[in-house]
Amino acid sequence: MVARDRLLTATASSTMAIAIIDYGMGNLRSVQKACEHVGAETEITRRPQTILEAERVILPGVGAFRHAIAELKRLDLVTAIRDRVASGRPLLGICLGLQLLFDVSYEEGEHEGLGIVPGKVVRFDLPREYKVPHMGWNQVTRPVGASGFPSVADGEYFYFVHSYHVVPHDPSWVALEADYGGRFCAAISREALAATQFHPEKSQGAGQRLLAEFAGTSMVSR
């Protein structure tokens, strides 16, 4: 199996711990409950050392990019997240947590991101019949040659809520795409780093399978 597929392959039935980063802007309890539903132990944390040492880490997020990056800096979490990714240990970004990984966002001005994934975050520029934010269920597809997220079937539906989307400089980062007035990046994956624009914690069975995959659990709790 190639390195890019290592992150999201279910490997064992044992419970694994997930640290969920709390910087004051994520729907933390929803993410925590979804992870626990698939049999994972969780810890909500603001401790840089926990982020570095946890078996797996989730960077969630809801809200404005500039406020989020300011809070990550204020809490001294930027270096911990960068070092975590550089260490090659699993991290999953969700929604704003995906966007924060990029170099720059053009939401309400121009704001520097974590600089982990080369690329930018831009607002949807759509025909008038498309409403922004993009909100609701949408299908995802896998670009030719893309890997990562093996539990996600081509054409499966996930739940989206966003007005901005990521544009990686290198298309090989794109693991899943969706179409809303044009194709856009719905998820990225490379080695132990993965992130989704959609919300797996709100995506019912498809989201549960993705989170179970990330957590390394082989069952979904009922």
Nearest-angstrom CA–CA distance, 56 and 175: 20
Summarised one tens digit per residue, pLDDT across range 195-212 is 999 999 999 999 999 999
Residue 14's pLDDT band (boundaries 50, 70, 90)? very low
Whether 220 shows a pLDDT value over 70: the answer reads: no
Summarised one tens digit per residue, pLDDT across range 169-185 is 999 999 999 999 999 99
Could you count the other beta carbons within 10 Å of the beta carbon of residue 71?
17
In percent, how much of the chain has pLDDT > 90? 87
Q: What is the pTM of this model?
A: 0.90
Catalytic center residues: 95, 199, 201
CB 26 within 8 A of CB 197: no
Cα separations (Å) of 87 from 51, 146, 169, 193, 206? 11, 23, 22, 10, 29
On average, the pLDDT of the chain sits at 91
Give the domains, in start order, of the chain with CATH numbers.
Answer: 3-215 (3.40.50.880)
> Which residue is listed with tokens 């910087």?
23
Whether 10 shows a pLDDT value over 70: the answer reads: no
Helix (H, G, I), strand (E, B), or coil: what is residue 18?
strand
Region of 95 on the Ramachandran plot (φ > 0 left; ψ -120 to 50 alpha; else beta)? left
